[in-house]
């Protein structure tokens, strides 16, 4: 944990893709059990910030500290391992492996971590129940609705008991009722497990589920005072 | 919408006659509701009384009102505070917000910050409503949703405006 | 799946649709042309796909063209042989200005057969075979270019010593069967006088013999087995990169093309691949043809110019290949509907039916087994040949049809396992179409290759066994015409002096009929009669043939155990009268030549030497029966040698024998010519299998990379939550390996099955060459590995977070 009590903190993050600057000195931090919404218009660098924080991409400069470790200098394999063990991910769409059943999809990260299949699937089953989609466990993603699929994705992200959950527009492809239900389940579960949540969204109604929001504009973070 | 603050803001770029003030107001903000002279006089006299403006000079001439008003330091502070203060989110807020943004741009203030502050205020309210909704019954949920949708619309407008600030600044100044 | 949308003519509501309602040849042409344009536009990848299809189809077409050339090649070959040959005229012509005495003088050098002919003109205007300007005189010869080269080689000292003629010319191409043929024509001298016969012209050859059951079997099988994979392969090749094309068709549907239109566009695209493939095939064929001259298979070496596809068959190929490609495409489209918002495969499909898939190979098997009652019938009856071909074809086709069912059935039962395995299995459970298509090609090709191979191995094993048996004894048998006993004695003396020769024996033999027996005439006019074999030799030579005990010149013996000869010479006994000029053949010359086996002739036990002729029914010393009295006396020499004493012993014996009499024929099994042919066939089969595998591998790579690209986002997500690259890499490997392994298992089973049935049909013992099967399986495994390895770089690339971007 960092001195200020945050579990994950980025500082002075710069990242350019070609000639396009995606992050231009962004700062960020999140505490255990805290849900932080990352807002901002399209192309503002929200997703890049998430990728940097999650160790998916290495920023050009700046530091990302997770639980006392500097992520930016960690070798690729260790960052991958960290993502398997400590982080969870929910994306907007296309994240479920279409060939695997919903249950197998949820069990996948656990199995990647070395959990035995039976145990992994038992845990997965619990999480599916918690996300209220236990009935579709044997179906493939192509056979379930968007809302159900997204719940499966949330179950998958949470099943590994991540300490940080990264959610990139998790309800972007859902209607509002479904979206709200998914968000409620997601934030409730995260709070229960004291997971920090980085919730990237451009929708205020989604951001409203957070404890605090920050706005990314032109690669810089504007922390909103009102939230503090 | 506060006409007083708007007129004060208009004066920040330099002293103006009452007539000029009306014309500037109409040009920028009076799209569907032009200002009456009467409103200008009454507002200015209130501002004079509060020490936010002063009479810069009276020109000789035939017209009834040839006073030139200038903003005082207190007036500048008042405008600044007004601009910084987020509006209480409520329906049809955008005309006020619009005025604020334009004025901020005209007076060289940070309009983006103004918008961010307002966004944060909107979100704070939304967060509250969302929390209430999570705990409330169906009626609560429906009421909260109604409010949330309006707030969301405002926020969209704020986003859009934020995205178009540069363009708006050119239009206002040019 | 037909939707309401699909059956409704598009554009009926408003505006002009991009593609009007179907109908009329104009619409057809327009759609085909549009498809054609898609085939050649579409950037580097589009070209790659089209090129791959074209190469695949091209290889198939080249093989087809080669097959179409077989009749012309055989005709040309036979024609060339006939034009330069005369195996003897029914009525030997009288010596004249226009006749020539002619003899064969074939020899073997280091296992290579060398065709030799000897000529001595009777006058100034003898017939001259093609390719030769002037007949060589005594001590002269003309040689083929290949023989000229061989003679010039440093290791050919024995051959130079053997063909001790002055080279006076080179035989032109029209006097050769193929560019690598080793042949010479030399002047005939007295040494071979006994071998020679008189001819008045060249260009006379027996009509080709009716082929043996084995040959028919092999030929029919080779055609079916070679062509079936080609057909399947062409079907696979035109669909390389099919998924991508289907996605494009979906886009076309979105802008209003209806289903028939998309099918026509798909067909148009396939036609381009097929037409380019035809061109490529012609190119491959023409290029490959040049190499034909350098290849000698089964002693057949042909001129590239002789390899001309028979026009009718070639035209058939040119029409059928594009037509087949269109049909295959349409057939494939049957189960796939391009909907505006994507490609809908007919899922969930009803489980693949086993019934008809099993019916195909079973029908094939039944057809083949029905022949088993009467294998010999294959030779006689075209109906049987058709049954054989159809049976083999159905069996192989059945394998291709069975594969999708097998893959589905097996994969459906797989569960559990580590994550990569699970990913691969699940993927295959959901959609194994592309993999199956590619693997289907492998399966039929490999099954065919194994079947051909088995048949070869078995026949080969038969030859090899025979050769091994005879070659175990270091013995060369020589046989040739002679006029008296002295020639044999001289030849033996010369041979015994040759380095490496350990011993040499020889007798003169001829046949004799019972006196007074006129024999019978068959409808062709050929007269045949019971004959006995008469062997004449010194006591020392006869002692090797039978346990004669004491012997003096003038003695005669009758052997008791005569073996199982076809014509029973039971008439031979002491005191019997024989006719030394047996009335045999189309034309019987000369009066009967009576000779009585003396009453004093002793009955003795004959000695049978393995690999050598029977001892003979009557053994006579020259004092009792002069060889000069025999009709067509033949000297039979047996020479033992020791390679330890002289490495070139065999070649030396041949040289000595040739110098004694160029017309001496060698009857030994020292060099097994089949060995090298076998190696050649094996190499060719192997090479063919590997090329097919590589090509299918290329197709697999295309579909794998396409699949990866489709799943770019998913791959990025997998990377995001920390999936090891190796995990995804392994799943790719399994995804390719499982269908290939199943296909191979099926192919090996079917191949061995087909081979066994065919061999049983021809009454041969079944042999399996495990090395070749292992080799083919190994190559397939290698291809799987290669496909996976080559798919890894794109995989790594696509596992980057770029795929996560939604913008």
pLDDT (0 to 100) of residue C17:
44
Final residue of a structural domain among B52, B85, B118:
B85
Helices (H), B29-164: 37-49, 73-84, 94-106, 111-135, 138-163
User: Domain tally for chain B?
Assistant: 2
Using CB atoms, which chains have 3+ pairs under 8 A with B?
A
C-alpha triplet C295, C288, C685: angle, nearest 5°: 60
Per-residue pLDDT of C63-108, as tens digits, reads 788 877 877 777 787 888 888 888 877 778 888 888 999 988 888 8
Per-residue pLDDT of A140-197, as tens digits, reads 888 888 889 999 999 999 998 999 999 998 988 788 888 888 899 899 988 888 999 9
pLDDT band with cut points at 50, 70 and 90 for residue C674? low
**Does the pLDDT at position A202 exceed 80?**
yes
Inter-chain residue contact B123 with A184, CB threshold 8 Å: no
pLDDT band with cut points at 50, 70 and 90 for residue B61? low
Return the minimum-mean-pLDDT range out of A116-125, C407-416, C454-463, C489-498: C454-463
pLDDT (0 to 100) of residue B24:
86
Any A CB within 8 A of B142 CB: no
pLDDT (0 to 100) of residue B93:
64
Per-residue pLDDT of A103-136, as tens digits, reads 999 999 898 888 898 999 999 999 999 988 999 9
Give chain A's end-to-end CA distance (angstroms, integer). 20
Which residue of B120, B121, B136, B147 to mutate against A (max A Cβ within 10 Å)? Answer: B120
Size of interface A-B (CB pairs under 8 A): 54
Domain identity same for B100 and B77 = no
Say which of A209, A217, A226 has its CB closest to residue B124.
Answer: A226
Any A CB within 8 A of B153 CB: no
pLDDT band with cut points at 50, 70 and 90 for residue C184? very high
Interface residue ranges in chain A relative to chain C, Cβ cutoff 8 Å: 42-43, 47, 51, 54, 56-57, 77, 80-85, 87-89, 91-95, 97-100, 104, 108-109, 111-112, 117, 140, 157, 166, 168-169, 172
Q: What is the C-alpha separation between C485 and C502, in angstroms, rounded?
A: 22
Q: Which of A224-228, C326-330, C507-511, C642-646 has the highest mean pLDDT?
A: C507-511
Inter-chain residue contact C722 with A80, CB threshold 8 Å: yes
Inter-chain residue contact A89 with C805, CB threshold 8 Å: no
Considering chain A, what is the average pLDDT of its residues? 87
Structure tokens at C642: 């020791």
pLDDT (0 to 100) of residue C263:
78
Residue numbers in A near B162 (CB within 8 A): 41, 217
Inter-chain residue contact A184 with B155, CB threshold 8 Å: no
Per-residue pLDDT of A154-170, as tens digits, reads 999 999 899 999 999 89
More confident residue, B133 or C63: B133
Contact B118, B101 (CB under 8 A): no
Residue numbers in A near B140 (CB within 8 A): none
Inter-chain residue contact C426 with A104, CB threshold 8 Å: yes
Output the CATH code of domain A1-86+162-228: 3.40.50.300
pLDDT (0 to 100) of residue C148:
93
Residue numbers in A near B155 (CB within 8 A): 204
Interface residue ranges in chain A relative to chain B, Cβ cutoff 8 Å: 41, 184, 202-205, 207-211, 213, 215, 217, 222, 224-227
DSSP lists the bridge partners of residue A9 as A29, A65
Inter-chain residue contact A84 with C723, CB threshold 8 Å: yes
**Does the pLDDT at position C30 exceed 90?**
no
Inter-chain residue contact A208 with B148, CB threshold 8 Å: yes
Query: C278: closest CA among C346, C218, C324, C338?
Result: C324
Inter-chain residue contact A215 with B134, CB threshold 8 Å: no
Domain identity same for B81 and B106 = no
Q: Which of C109-113, C292-296, C458-462, C537-541 has the highest mean pLDDT?
A: C537-541
pLDDT (0 to 100) of residue C612:
75
Per-residue pLDDT of C100-137, as tens digits, reads 999 888 888 887 888 999 999 998 888 889 888 889 98
Domain identity same for B81 and B120 = no
Domain identity same for B60 and B102 = no
CATH number of the domain that residue B79 is part of: 1.10.10.10
Q: What is the C-alpha separation between C525 and C586, in angstroms, rounded?
A: 6
Query: A204: closest CA among B134, C380, B119, C139?
Result: B119
**Does the pLDDT at position C191 exceed 90?**
no
Q: Nearest residue of A to residue B159 by CA position?
A: A41
Domain identity same for B80 and B93 = no
Contact C601, C556 (CB under 8 A): yes
Which residue's structure tokens are 């090609």? Answer: C441
DSSP lists the bridge partners of residue A199 as A37, A167
Residue numbers in B near A209 (CB within 8 A): 127, 130
| Spatial CB neighbours of C454, under 8 Å, sequence gap ≥ 6 | C751, C752, C755, C756, C758, C759, C766, C767, C768, C769
Chain A closest CA to C713's CA: distance in Å? 7
**Does the pLDDT at position C239 exceed 70?**
no
Query: C301: closest CA among C73, C99, C524, C493?
Result: C73
Q: What is the C-alpha separation between B104 and B102, in angstroms, rounded?
A: 5
Final residue of a structural domain among B85, B108, B132:
B85
Using CB atoms, which chains have 3+ pairs under 8 A with C?
A
Domain identity same for B113 and B173 = yes
Which residue's structure tokens are 């890049």? Answer: A48
**Does the pLDDT at position C333 exceed 80?**
no
pLDDT band with cut points at 50, 70 and 90 for residue C428? confident
Chain A closest CA to B88's CA: distance in Å? 13
C-alpha triplet C396, C402, C408: angle, nearest 5°: 150
Q: Nearest residue of A to residue C416 by CA position?
A: A117
Q: Nearest residue of A to residue B157 by CA position?
A: A204
Any A CB within 8 A of B163 CB: yes
Q: What is the C-alpha separation between B42 and B116, in angstroms, rounded?
A: 33
Domain identity same for B61 and B108 = no
Chain A closest CA to B156's CA: distance in Å? 8
More confident residue, C356 or A14: A14
**How many of the other CB atoms lie within 10 Å of CB of C610?**
9
Structure tokens at A9: 């903190």
Residue numbers in A near C721 (CB within 8 A): 83-84, 87-89, 109, 112, 157
More confident residue, C733 or C292: C733
Q: Which of B102-106, C463-467, C766-770 has the highest mean pLDDT?
A: B102-106
More confident residue, C472 or C270: C270
pLDDT (0 to 100) of residue A167:
93
Q: What is the C-alpha separation between A130 and A185, in angstroms, rounded?
A: 8
Chain C closest CA to A94's CA: distance in Å? 6
Q: What is the C-alpha separation between C372 and C365, in angstroms, rounded?
A: 11
Mean pLDDT over C350-354 rounds to 62
**How many of the other CB atoms lie within 10 Å of CB of B31?**
10
Per-residue pLDDT of C518-576, as tens digits, reads 888 888 778 888 888 899 998 888 888 888 888 888 899 988 765 555 445 678 888 88
Q: How much of chain C exceeds pLDDT 90, in percent?
A: 5
Q: What is the C-alpha separation between C533 and C619, in angstroms, rounded?
A: 9
Q: What is the C-alpha separation between B142 and C239, in angstroms, rounded?
A: 56
Mean pLDDT over C407-412 rounds to 84
pLDDT (0 to 100) of residue A120:
92
Inter-chain residue contact C804 with A117, CB threshold 8 Å: no
More confident residue, C378 or C123: C123
Domain identity same for B155 and B105 = yes
Say which of A203, A211, A224 has its CB closest to residue B119.
Answer: A224
Is it the case that chain B and chain C have 3 or more CB pairs lying under 8 Å apart?
no
Q: How much of chain C exceeds pLDDT 70, in percent?
A: 79
Residue numbers in B near A213 (CB within 8 A): 120, 123
Query: C168: closest CA among C134, C124, C121?
Result: C134
Query: C776: closest CA among C697, C704, C684, C690?
Result: C690
Residue numbers in C near A42 (CB within 8 A): 807
Is the bond leading into C417 cis (omega within 30 degrees of zero)?
no
Final residue of a structural domain among B45, B61, B85:
B85
Q: How much of chain A exceeds pLDDT 70, in percent?
A: 96
Give chain C's end-to-end CA distance (angstroms, integer). 33
Chain C closest CA to A228's CA: distance in Å? 30
Inter-chain residue contact A205 with B129, CB threshold 8 Å: no
pLDDT band with cut points at 50, 70 and 90 for residue A200? very high
Interface residue ranges in chain C relative to chain A, Cβ cutoff 8 Å: 416, 419, 422-423, 426-427, 429-430, 713-714, 717-724, 727, 801, 804-807
Q: What is the C-alpha separation between B159 and B163, in angstroms, rounded?
A: 6
Chain B closest CA to A96's CA: distance in Å? 28
Inter-chain residue contact C714 with A94, CB threshold 8 Å: yes
Q: Following CA atoms A180, A181, A184, A190 in sequence, which dihedral angle do they give, to the nearest 10 degrees?
A: -120
Residue numbers in C near A82 (CB within 8 A): 722
Mean pLDDT over C360-372 rounds to 81
Inter-chain residue contact C801 with A169, CB threshold 8 Å: no
pLDDT (0 to 100) of residue C210:
56
Inter-chain residue contact B148 with A213, CB threshold 8 Å: no
Q: Nearest residue of A to residue C420 by CA position?
A: A112
Inter-chain residue contact A215 with B119, CB threshold 8 Å: yes
pLDDT band with cut points at 50, 70 and 90 for residue A7? very high
Per-residue pLDDT of B155-171, as tens digits, reads 888 888 888 888 888 88
Contact C453, C755 (CB under 8 A): yes
Structural domain containing residue B125? 88-174
pLDDT (0 to 100) of residue A198:
94
Domain identity same for B153 and B104 = yes
Q: Which residue intervals of chain A bear CATH 3.40.50.300? A: 1-86+162-228
Residue numbers in A near B123 (CB within 8 A): 204, 207-208, 213, 224, 226-227
Domain identity same for B121 and B144 = yes
Contact A89, A157 (CB under 8 A): yes
Contact C170, C133 (CB under 8 A): no
DSSP C727-741: HHHHHHHHHHHHHHH
Structure tokens at A225: 């005072």
Q: What is the C-alpha separation between C328 and C57, in angstroms, rounded?
A: 13
Say which of B116, B134, B152 has its CB closest to residue A204.
Answer: B152
| Spatial CB neighbours of B48, under 8 Å, sequence gap ≥ 6 | B54, B55, B69
**Does the pLDDT at position C361 exceed 60?**
yes
Residue numbers in A near B127 (CB within 8 A): 208-211, 227
């Amino acid at each position: 944990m960092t001195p200020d009590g945050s579990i994950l903190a980025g500082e002075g993050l710069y990242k350019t893709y070609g000639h396009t600057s995606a992050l231009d000195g962004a700062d960020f931090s999140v505490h255990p059990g805290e849900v932080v919404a990352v807002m901002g218009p399209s192309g503002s660098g929200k997703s890049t910030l998430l990728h940097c924080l999650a160790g998916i991409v290495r920023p050009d400069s700046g530091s990302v500290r997770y639980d006392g470790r500097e992520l930016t200098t960690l070798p690729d394999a260790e960052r991958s391992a960290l993502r398997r063990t400590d982080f969870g991910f929910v994306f907007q769409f296309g994240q479920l492996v279409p060939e695997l059943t919903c249950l197998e999809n949820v069990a996948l990260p656990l199995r990647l971590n070395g959990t035995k299949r039976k145990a992994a699937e038992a845990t997965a089953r619990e999480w599916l129940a918690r996300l209220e989609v236990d009935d579709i466990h044997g179906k493939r993603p192509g056979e379930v609705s968007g809302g159900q699929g997204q719940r499966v994705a949330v179950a998958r992200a949470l099943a590994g008991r991540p300490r940080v959950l990264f959610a990139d527009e998790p309800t972007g492809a859902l209607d509002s009722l479904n979206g709200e239900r998914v968000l409620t389940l997601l934030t409730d579960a995260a709070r229960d497990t004291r997971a920090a949540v980085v919730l990237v969204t451009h929708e205020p109604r989604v951001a409203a589920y957070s404890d605090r929001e920050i706005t990314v504009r032109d690669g810089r973070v504007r922390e909103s005072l009102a939230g503090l | 919408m506060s006409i007083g603050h708007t007129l004060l803001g208009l004066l920040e770029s330099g002293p103006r006659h009452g007539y000029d003030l009306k014309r500037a107001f109409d040009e920028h903000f009076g799209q569907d509701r032009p200002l009456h002279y009467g409103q200008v006089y009454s507002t200015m006299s209130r501002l004079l009384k509060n020490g936010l403006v002063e009479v810069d000079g009276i020109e000789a001439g035939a017209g009834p009102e040839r006073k030139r008003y200038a903003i005082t330091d207190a007036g500048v502070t008042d405008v600044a505070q007004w601009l910084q203060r987020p509006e209480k989110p409520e329906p049809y807020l955008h005309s006020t917000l619009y005025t604020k943004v334009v004025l901020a741009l005209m007076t060289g203030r940070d309009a983006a910050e103004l918008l961010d502050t307002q966004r944060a205020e909107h979100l704070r309210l939304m967060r509250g409503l969302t929390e209430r909704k999570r705990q409330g019954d169906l009626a609560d949920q429906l009421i909260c949703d109604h409010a949330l949708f309006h707030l969301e619309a405002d926020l969209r407008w704020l986003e859009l405006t934020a995205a178009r600030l540069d363009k708006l600044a050119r239009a206002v100044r040019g | 799946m037909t939707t309401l949308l699909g059956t409704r003519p598009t554009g009926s509501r408003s505006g002009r649709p991009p593609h009007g309602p179907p109908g009329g040849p104009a619409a057809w042409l327009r759609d085909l042309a549009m498809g054609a344009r898609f085939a050649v536009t579409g950037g580097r990848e589009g070209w790659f796909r089209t090129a791959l299809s074209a190469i695949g189809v091209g290889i198939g077409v080249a093989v087809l063209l080669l097959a179409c050339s077989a009749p012309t090649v055989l005709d040309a070959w036979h024609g060339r042989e006939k034009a330069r040959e005369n195996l003897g005229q029914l009525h030997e012509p009288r010596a004249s200005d226009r006749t020539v005495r002619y003899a064969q003088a074939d020899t073997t050098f280091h296992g290579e057969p060398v065709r030799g002919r000897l000529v001595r003109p009777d006058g100034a205007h003898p017939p001259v075979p093609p390719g030769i300007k002037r007949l060589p005189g005594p001590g002269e010869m003309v040689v083929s270019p290949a023989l000229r080269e061989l003679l010039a080689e440093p290791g050919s000292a024995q051959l130079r010593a053997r063909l001790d003629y002055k080279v006076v010319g080179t035989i032109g191409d029209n006097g050769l069967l193929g560019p690598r043929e080793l042949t010479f024509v030399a002047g005939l001298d007295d040494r071979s006088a006994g071998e020679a016969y008189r001819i008045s012209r060249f260009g006379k050859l027996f009509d080709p013999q009716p082929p043996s059951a084995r040959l028919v079997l092999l030929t029919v099988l080779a055609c079916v087995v070679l062509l079936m994979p080609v057909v399947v392969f062409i079907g696979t090749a035109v669909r390389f990169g099919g998924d991508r094309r289907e996605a494009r068709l979906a886009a076309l549907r979105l802008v209003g093309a209806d289903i028939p239109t998309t099918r026509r566009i798909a067909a148009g695209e396939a036609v381009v691949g097929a037409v380019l493939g035809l061109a490529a095939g012609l190119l491959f064929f023409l290029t490959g043809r040049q190499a034909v001259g350098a290849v000698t298979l089964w002693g057949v070496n042909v001129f590239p110019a002789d390899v001309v596809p028979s026009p009718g068959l070639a035209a058939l190929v040119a029409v059928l290949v594009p037509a087949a490609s269109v049909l295959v495409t349409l057939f494939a489209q049957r189960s796939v509907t391009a909907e505006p918002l994507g490609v809908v495969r007919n899922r969930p499909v009803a489980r693949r039916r086993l019934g008809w898939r099993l019916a195909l190979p079973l029908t094939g098997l039944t057809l083949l087994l029905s022949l088993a009652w009467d294998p010999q019938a294959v030779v006689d009856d075209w109906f049987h040949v058709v049954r054989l071909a159809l049976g083999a074809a159905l069996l192989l086709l059945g394998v291709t049809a069975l594969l999708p069912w097998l893959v589905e059935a097996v994969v459906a039962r797989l569960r559990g396992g580590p994550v990569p395995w699970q990913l691969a299995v699940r993927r295959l459970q959901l959609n194994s179409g592309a993999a199956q298509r590619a693997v289907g090609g492998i399966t039929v090709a490999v099954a065919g290759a194994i079947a051909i191979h088995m048949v070869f191995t078995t026949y080969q094993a038969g030859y090899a066994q025979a050769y091994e048996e005879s070659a175990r004894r270091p013995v060369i048998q020589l046989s040739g015409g002679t006029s008296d006993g002295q020639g044999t004695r001289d030849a033996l003396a010369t041979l015994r002096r040759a380095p490496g020769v350990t011993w040499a024996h020889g007798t003169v033999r001829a046949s004799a009929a019972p006196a007074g027996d006129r024999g019978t005439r068959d409808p062709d006019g050929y007269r045949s009669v019971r004959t006995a074999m008469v062997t004449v030799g010194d006591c020392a030579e006869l002692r090797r043939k039978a346990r004669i005990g004491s012997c003096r010149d003038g003695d005669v013996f009758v052997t008791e155990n005569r073996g199982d000869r076809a014509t029973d010479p039971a008439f031979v006994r002491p005191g019997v009268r024989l006719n030394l000029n047996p009335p045999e053949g189309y034309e019987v010359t000369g009066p009967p030549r009576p000779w009585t086996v003396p009453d004093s002739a002793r009955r003795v036990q004959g000695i049978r030497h393995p690999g050598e002729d029977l001892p003979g029914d009557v053994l006579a010393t020259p004092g009792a029966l002069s060889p000069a009295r025999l009709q067509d006396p033949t000297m039979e020499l047996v020479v033992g040698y020791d390679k330890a004493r002289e490495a070139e012993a065999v070649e030396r014996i041949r040289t000595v024998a040739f110098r004694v009499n160029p017309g001496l024929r060698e009857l030994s099994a020292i060099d097994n010519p089949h060995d090298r042919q076998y190696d050649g066939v094996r190499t060719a089969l192997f090479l063919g299998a590997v090329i097919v595998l590589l090509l299918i591998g290329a197709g697999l790579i295309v579909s794998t990379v396409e699949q990866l690209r489709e799943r770019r986002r998913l791959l990025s997500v997998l990377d995001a939550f920390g999936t090891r690259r190796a995990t995804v890499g392994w799943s790719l490997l399994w995804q390719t390996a499982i269908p290939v392994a199943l296909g191979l298992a099926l192919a090996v089973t079917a191949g061995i099955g087909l081979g066994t049935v065919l061999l049983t049909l021809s009454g041969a013992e079944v042999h399996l060459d495990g090395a070749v099967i292992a080799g083919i399986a190994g190559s397939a495994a290698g291809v799987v590995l290669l496909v996976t390895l080559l798919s890894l770089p794109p995989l790594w690339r696509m596992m980057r977070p770029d795929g996560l971007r939604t913008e």
